[in-house]
Amino acid sequence: MTVSNQSYTVMFSAGESSGDQHAAHMFQELQKQYPDIRGMGMGGNKMRQAGVEIRFDSSGIGVIGLVEILKHYGEIRRALRLMKQIVADEKPDLLVCVDYKEFNLKLARFAKRQGVKVLFYVSPQVWAWRSGRVETYGKAIDMMAVIFPFETAYYDAKNVPVRYVGHPSVDKVQPLRSKQADFESFGLDSTRPVVGVLPGSRANEIKRMLPVMLEAVKLLSQRFPELQFVLPQADSVADEVLQSYLQDFAVPVKVIKQQAYDAIQCCDAVMTTSGTASLEIALLQVPMLIAYRLSPFTYWLGKQLVKIPFIGLPNIIAGKAVVKELIQQAVSAENLADEIERLLFDADYRQCILAELQRVKRLLGEGGGSKNMADLALEMLR
């Protein structure tokens, strides 16, 4: 697709680590088709590296849960004020809101009033709760880009413009090297099992999940001294945050930066929080358990609102419990260690999970999400 010589400015609004990645990949695809395009807005390191001009660094506001949002409310409000100001002053040709639902809904409404076109990327989970939001978002946007094929029906039913673009992770989740090369690069022994520890990409997730995961690591290393442990560090997590937990920890845990997919492909089993990471692990075909804790009030509220029985994306996509979910009180070092042991050493159980993960991968389709998003954006710009 060719675009006229007009110079276009695309404003991005991404509030979390996964959104930062999605926006970065989309912008890279835009640049391939239209090298003069300019990107600016709110995001993190990935967008900055892709050449987007970051006006507000979102790494401090990517929190989840009502209590956590209240704690960061001042910073989130400041970000929204600034983003609205940019929309009003600079009138970008297109605003791309990536996930970060409530914040971006407010920004989208404002942009629409200012006459700026709005493309929303990653639908709110209307299939899980508050399906009435389809109409709410429909009034604030020009196009909804969804990443799961079953989502289009919800928008079509209310005549909201929608396009299925594919899940960005399908293309993105590619290790850089072979598994053997990774073992050598990371100094791992390929004859001994490797367990991955993924405590999340937000500071509050790490605070809740890493201590209990490390307790499980301790139990596992006592039961099976031959095990090796790796922790792929999310870009949004500062070194000192992890080191405060790991510096005096008795069991060696190898922290691997900026090579998450290579680290995960070396693993025989992984303990992870819910979210995009669980989907990426599924795409890499590694057996896992999903563990999650929220503040008691946020969890209680979620139980009242959410209509689906799972929190993990592999289970939601499969429509059944493909991998074990441990939530709230069920998150104990003992439970985590027991499930990892089963994933490693119960051959039938392991095989069954691998077969289901293959099905999840098939259900996600061929990919091309970032390119499809770039095509859609250019269509809207024209």
The string of pLDDT tens digits covering residues 169-181 is 898 899 999 999 9
Residue 51 pLDDT > 60, yes or no? yes
**Averaged over 363-367, what is the pLDDT?**
84
Across the range 285-291, mean pLDDT stands at 97
| Residue % of the chain over a pLDDT of 90 | 73
What is the distance between the alpha carbons of residues 187 and 286, in angstroms, rounded to a whole number?
A: 20
Task: Let me know: does 15 contact 42? Beta carbons within 8 Å.
Answer: yes
Q: What integer pLDDT is reported at residue 3 of this predicted model?
A: 45
pLDDT of 41 > 90? The answer is: yes
Say if residues 63 and 90 touch (Cβ distance below 8 Å): no
Residue 289: its pLDDT value, please? 98
Instruction: Determine the Cα–Cα distance for residues 275 and 302; give it in Å rounded to an integer.
Output: 15
For position 336, what pLDDT does the model report?
Answer: 98
Residue with tokens 């009242």, as numbered in its chain: 304
Average pLDDT for the chain: 91
Rounded distance between C-alpha atoms, residue 239 and residue 235, angstroms: 10
Instruction: Identify which of 66-75, 129-138, 150-159, 344-353 has the greatest average pLDDT.
Output: 344-353
Mean pLDDT over 46-75 rounds to 83
Q: Which domains does the chain have, with CATH numbers?
A: 9-166+367-381 (3.40.50.2000), 179-363 (3.40.50.2000)
Give this prediction's pTM.
0.73
Angle at 137 between CA 135 and CA 143, to 5 degrees: 110
What confidence score (pLDDT) does residue 228 get?
Answer: 98
